[in-house]
């Protein structure tokens, strides 16, 4: 999944970025509201982590502008501990959730997982597709009761496809959701990862779950 973090406290933003990347997320960071608004409007992401108190353009203004523009990206607001009016203003302006500072990284991850599930058929942290199970909390994967060992990037790709099961996903879409904006979209790395995942998830089973759609990309079907 591709996340955008808009946070002017550089040390905190960098900690969030590092931690999320270790969890397999692709992360872009903006350190002020102007840059954050530009990236939100021009760089597709699955979720935005948005601080309210930002230089140049504040978080509430960013939120109002992207919602007015029809951008439906889930937004998790970061607020000061006692800033109740900010929380209310944020939720009324289109935020999906908020987290007060200071916060635990485990809670941040749980809220991200919940928001990413919101627009899919998945309602718990465990995704089931036929005999394939994917635990979003632990990143453990099983097929037919057998453990499947995946790299962080392989897991991220499989999880995204599972959240969008039975949907055609182009190579460009998969790249945009797996990598930050510096990634070369002309690369064949998605094909390489798909082949690796197939060898681990489908090999040895009568029914294939990962399908190639000629001219359209790939689909996890089940």
Other C-beta atoms lying within 10 Å of the C-beta of residue 112 = 23
Task: Give 162-172 pLDDT, tens digit per residue.
Answer: 989 999 999 88
User: Which residue ranges in the chain fall short of pLDDT 70?
Assistant: 119-123, 180-187
Mapped onto helix, strand or coil, the DSSP state of residue 191 is: helix
The residue among 117, 140, 162 that closes a domain is 117
CA distance 22 to 108: 14
Residues 19 and 47 in one domain: yes
CA distance 109 to 15: 13
Residues 181 and 141 in one domain: yes
What is the sign of the dihedral through the CA atoms of 204, 205, 206 and 207? negative
pLDDT at 153: 86
Structure tokens at 195: 């082949």
Helices vs strands, H then E, count in the chain: 8, 11
Residues 208 and 139 in one domain: yes
Task: Give 41-91 pLDDT, tens digit per residue.
Answer: 998 899 999 999 999 999 999 999 999 999 999 999 998 877 788 889 999
The residue among 117, 134, 149 that closes a domain is 117
Domain around 91: 2-117
pLDDT at 212: 94
Residues 69 and 113 in one domain: yes
Residues 97 and 79 in one domain: yes
């Amino acid at each position: 999944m591709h996340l955008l973090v808009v946070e002017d406290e550089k040390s905190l933003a960098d900690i969030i970025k590092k931690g999320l990347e270790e969890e397999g997320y692709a992360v872009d960071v903006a350190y002020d509201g102007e840059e954050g608004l530009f990236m939100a409007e021009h760089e597709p992401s699955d979720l935005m982590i948005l601080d309210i108190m930002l230089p140049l353009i504040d978080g509430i203004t960013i939120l109002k502008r992207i919602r007015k523009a029809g951008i439906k990206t889930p937004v998790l607001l970061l607020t000061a501990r006692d800033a109740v009016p900010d929380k209310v203003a944020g939720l009324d302006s289109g935020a999906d959730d908020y987290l007060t500072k200071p916060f635990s990284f485990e809670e941040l991850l749980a809220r991200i997982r919940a928001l990413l599930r919101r627009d899919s058929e998945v309602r718990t942290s465990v995704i089931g597709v036929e005999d394939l199970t994917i635990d979003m909390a632990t990143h453990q994967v099983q097929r037919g009761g057998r453990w499947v060992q995946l790299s962080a990037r392989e897991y991220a790709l499989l999880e995204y496809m599972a959240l969008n099961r039975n949907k055609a996903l182009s190579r460009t879409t998969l790249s945009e959701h797996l990598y930050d904006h510096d990634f070369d979209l002309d690369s064949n790395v998605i094909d390489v990862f798909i082949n690796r995942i197939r060898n681990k998830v489908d090999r040895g089973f009568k029914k294939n779950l990962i399908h190639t759609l000629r001219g359209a990309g790939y689909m996890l079907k089940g």
